[in-house]
Structure 1
Amino acid sequence: MGDVVRAPWDAYFVTGFDVCSEVLRGRNWLAPDFAWQERQEDTERWDAIATQEMTKTLSRLNAPAHTCQRRSLGNLSGRSTIQRLTPQVEQDVTRLLDELAEKLRRGEADFVSTVSEQLPISTIGSWLGIPPEDYPHILEITHNQVHAQELLPTKSELAVSAEATMHLRAYFTEMVKQRRANPGNDVLTGWIHTWDAMEPDREAADEILYRLTMFVAIASLETTATLLSSMVALLLREPGRWAWLAEHPGYIDAAVDEALRYDPPIHINTRIAADDTVLAGVPIAKDSMVHVMYGAANHDPRRNDAPDAFDIERTGTHLTFGGGVHYCMGAALARLEARTLLAQLLKRFPTLRAVTGPSYAPRLVFRRVTSMSVAI
């Protein structure tokens, strides 16, 4: 239908790889922030509690606020951060695969609830200092909150998101308060010191710290969990693929990237035209929404030959982590978790097989695998 296709509402779908990349990296394409929302005729769509709360987070901020807040977090994908987290990720993977092995001795096991949903919360939880007994609560409210980030959420979905958002605010506001009272040798304590030096108003600083900590936590959970589940599902789908990768472990990183390309955890991201412009020959008026279609871009045959084939030996590229100033902060961490998990899985479960394929939640934007049964 073309690189830019009119949506059934007042917006455009962007499908081609190069055009999607242009939007993601271009400075004249903005996140839908409060300033833009206030200029819309239909403001009711943007008044939902969960939508308002997410608009305050990094994903919906533009410069200079976005630049300032992102820099305050440091380099979350830097070599030192990844080196520091690697032993913890390896330990968490071993523990979770021990639990998987115990379940598999008795028969089938759900890979999602046993492994892929547990690894990201264990990683980010230990890094931020979230008590393990709180992990189930954080997972539940994160699952419920993301409804507000869909393209056209229903009123009932927004109500569920509103309740989850209030729980998230209460939890992470208290977490910042407690860490301020009892500082430690952790990343959140470092962020507190950074913002105390930048913002003389402590109440304002704590509000920003809450939003940053909450966003970093929830942004890394469902996306990474879905990557881990879909990666394993894709590798088990074709007979012989799992065994081949076990014999060729040098392709583990390539397998992770091909899973990211083939079925990205987020399929759609929205940007706003900062000025009247032309995109791939289509006139786009200022303030118009464009929906960047990650999955379509990754399957563009002009960028990746035979894009609908899952090919571990492919040397193509993808846009799954976005681009430009909003490039995913946790890209290196997601790859670390996926690579570590896959390496141990191949060694410990060479005969792993899928009993049922992945089941997905009915969403457009945030993919979520809800279950996937495996056996040996």
Structure 2
Amino acid sequence: MSRFRHRLRWLVLHGIVRGLSTVGARRGDPQARLIADPAVRADPAAFADEMRARGPVVRSRTALMTFDHAVANEVLRSDDFHVMSLGAGLPAVLQRINEKTSTGLLHPIEPPSLLSIEPPDHTRCRKMVSSVFTTRAVAALHDRVQDTADQLLDRLEGRSGTVDVVDAYCAQLPVAVISDILGVPEADRQQILKFGELAAPSLDIGLSWKQYQSVHEGLVEFNEWLIHHLDELRRNPGDDLMSQLIQASAQAEEGAQLSQRELLATAGLVLAAGFETTVNLLGNGIRMLLQTPGHLETLAARPELWPTAVEEILRLDSPVQMSARFARRDVDIAGTRIRRGELIILHLAGANRDPKVFTDPHRFDIERENAGKHLSFSGGRHFCLGAALARTEGGVGLRTFFERYPGAQLAGAAQRRDTRVLRGWSTLPITLGSARTALA
């Protein structure tokens, strides 16, 4: 693609939105503030409280928004709404430009990604993936997660001074597990980390030209690597789940099989979603627990609370902050008329702090009875396929870290990732303190 067409595509998908949002944010438009206001990015909970006070559905200039748990839950499960894809909802002239400048690259929010398709294709693809990513298969990964966590923490023993726990642990654990699932050779795993970092902003709109270029370069490299990797798994299948998915699709009845592009999109989504959400969960959890040493004392005395603690971390600082749906037809939601084709942004992080559902919603409570009612894994037919694995990695990863390093402390300023849909830490400096042995 020529530089002109490349720049034109950025302008249509991001540049115009970025410019209008900057102006709209100054005028107080809710959606524009969500995109362009740095204060909203820094404190999404305060923004959600402000918006929630306006009612269950908030109308902005070009979309509706909800921070209400009941409304978000209803929309996620309703057949009256469908998922969006990159560039959807653009005016007709911009839509044509978007189509003519398409790169043809796989993208997490473009078909055939499971995030951007609906039945019958979604049903067919999800059924095939679910036949391999079974509850039993995920449960079998528990020991692998534990072994990986132990090995990573072994490497940190004796480290003095400040350690970036995101780089040394939070990122390394999920990339090792996802690599096992996808049959990725150990020599390629640093590439996977790089791809994850470059592609993380791809879920956002209103990217700067520099961000867009970085995402594009990452997607080009990732597409090339993924095509080669799947070809290698066909020639030399292993006992990994991706090899099993390729074989299951090849053996399926006509009409149930996944195309090459669907297999690529599925592998890409499993890699990106499985890595990005879990690294954020681990980083967010370590930070929150280091800020509440009383909780760590409770968890040390009552380790059976770890699953609830993980749910509460997911609720309070959701790795995925928002989702969106388009209305298929005119529909009434919570007293608001939503017209066919209108977009509603579901602020999952805000719904997770809805005081109508969660008592004292801003409090970090590792004994909260309904912590698991959060919407951090979405809902309905698009409920996250990797939720069970993320919970396993979160529980094992956090518990093992604090059992090994009970004296860990925050050390200096941490840095948030420069993304809006995904929320986590890019750097989190800590001091480890003395290590306990893995068998202690």
What SS is found at the alignment partner of 1:302?
coil
Kept after mapping to 2: 8 A contact 1:16/1:300: yes
Kept after mapping to 2: 8 A contact 1:86/1:336: yes
Instruction: Give 1:75 deviation, angstroms.
Output: 5.0
Kept after mapping to 1: 8 A contact 2:105/2:220: no
Kept after mapping to 1: 8 A contact 2:315/2:349: yes
1:3 aligns with 2:64: no
Instruction: Give 1:66 deviation, angstroms.
Output: 0.8
Kept after mapping to 2: 8 A contact 1:92/1:122: yes
One-letter amino acid of the counterpart of residue 189, structure 2: Y
What SS is found at the alignment partner of 1:374?
strand
Kept after mapping to 2: 8 A contact 1:77/1:332: no
Unmatched 5+ stretches in structure 2 = 1-53, 434-440
CA distance in 1 between counterparts of 2:133 and 2:253 reads: 25
1:175 aligns with 2:215: no
1:29 aligns with 2:81: yes
Bigger shift: 206-215 or 263-272? 206-215
With structure 2 as the length reference, what TM-score do the two structures score? 0.79
CA distance in 1 between counterparts of 2:215 and 2:429 reads: 28
State the Cα deviation string for residues 148-181 of structure 1 (Å, max 9, x = none): 2103223332222111111111111111111111
Kept after mapping to 2: 8 A contact 1:266/1:320: yes
Instruction: Give 1:50 deviation, angstroms.
Output: 8.3
CA distance in 1 between counterparts of 2:103 and 2:346 reads: 25
Instruction: Give 1:243 deviation, angstroms.
Output: 2.0
What SS is found at the alignment partner of 1:82?
helix
Instruction: Give 1:370 deviation, angstroms.
Output: 0.4
CA distance in 2 between counterparts of 1:40 and 1:22 reads: 30
One-letter amino acid of the counterpart of residue 324, structure 1: G
- From 316, 323, 326, the equivalent of 1:269 is 323
CA distance in 2 between counterparts of 1:18 and 1:345 reads: 35
Instruction: Give 1:253 deviation, angstroms.
Output: 0.7
One-letter amino acid of the counterpart of residue 423, structure 2: R
1:197/1:38 CA distance change after superposition, 3 Å: farther
1:135/1:336 CA distance change after superposition, 3 Å: same
Kept after mapping to 2: 8 A contact 1:77/1:331: no
| Alignment correspondent of 1:278 | 332
State the Cα deviation string for residues 116-154 of structure 1 (Å, max 9, x = none): 011110001012110122112111122212322103223
Q: How much is the aligned-residue C-alpha RMSD, in angstroms?
A: 2.3
Kept after mapping to 1: 8 A contact 2:69/2:352: yes
Bigger shift: 354-363 or 161-170? 354-363
CA distance in 1 between counterparts of 2:88 and 2:350 reads: 26
Kept after mapping to 1: 8 A contact 2:201/2:418: no
CA distance in 1 between counterparts of 2:105 and 2:333 reads: 28
Instruction: Give 1:192 deviation, angstroms.
Output: 1.5
Instruction: Give 1:76 deviation, angstroms.
Output: 6.2
State the Cα deviation string for residues 328-356 of structure 1 (Å, max 9, x = none): 00100011111111222232112122123
Q: Which runs of 4+ in 1 moved over 6 A?
A: none
State the Cα deviation string for residues 281-320 of structure 1 (Å, max 9, x = none): 1211111111110110001100001111111111122111
1:371 aligns with 2:424: no
With structure 1 as the length reference, what TM-score do the two structures score? 0.92
Instruction: Give 1:40 deviation, angstroms.
Output: 4.7
1:132 aligns with 2:199: no
What SS is found at the alignment partner of 1:74?
helix
CA distance in 1 between counterparts of 2:231 and 2:133 reads: 26
CA distance in 1 between counterparts of 2:332 and 2:248 reads: 41
What SS is found at the alignment partner of 2:157?
helix
Bigger shift: 48-57 or 238-247? 48-57
- From 146, 150, 157, the equivalent of 1:94 is 150
1:230/1:4 CA distance change after superposition, 3 Å: same
| Alignment correspondent of 1:346 | 402
One-letter amino acid of the counterpart of residue 240, structure 2: D
CA distance in 2 between counterparts of 1:50 and 1:97 reads: 41
CA distance in 1 between counterparts of 2:410 and 2:87 reads: 48
What SS is found at the alignment partner of 1:22?
helix
Instruction: Give 1:35 deviation, angstroms.
Output: 11
Bigger shift: 14-23 or 69-78? 69-78
Bigger shift: 334-343 or 350-359? 350-359
State the Cα deviation string for residues 216-240 of structure 1 (Å, max 9, x = none): 1111111110000101111111243
| Alignment correspondent of 1:225 | 279
Structure 1 vs Structure 2: percent identity of aligned residues? 27
Bigger shift: 55-64 or 348-357? 348-357
Bigger shift: 340-349 or 65-74? 340-349
| Alignment correspondent of 1:336 | 392
1:107 aligns with 2:161: yes
1:250 aligns with 2:304: yes
1:198/1:137 CA distance change after superposition, 3 Å: same
One-letter amino acid of the counterpart of residue 102, structure 1: G
Kept after mapping to 1: 8 A contact 2:412/2:429: yes
| Alignment correspondent of 1:289 | 343
| Alignment correspondent of 2:121 | 65
1:37/1:13 CA distance change after superposition, 3 Å: closer
| Alignment correspondent of 2:34 | none
CA distance in 2 between counterparts of 1:118 and 1:67 reads: 32
One-letter amino acid of the counterpart of residue 142, structure 1: G
**Superposition pairs of residues 112-123 of structure 1, within 5 angstroms:** 112-123=166-177
One-letter amino acid of the counterpart of residue 264, structure 1: S
One-letter amino acid of the counterpart of residue 332, structure 1: A
Kept after mapping to 1: 8 A contact 2:283/2:424: no
One-letter amino acid of the counterpart of residue 227, structure 1: L
What SS is found at the alignment partner of 2:206?
coil
What SS is found at the alignment partner of 2:156?
helix
Aligned length: 372
One-letter amino acid of the counterpart of residue 312, structure 2: E
CA distance in 1 between counterparts of 2:402 and 2:77 reads: 37
1:302 aligns with 2:356: yes
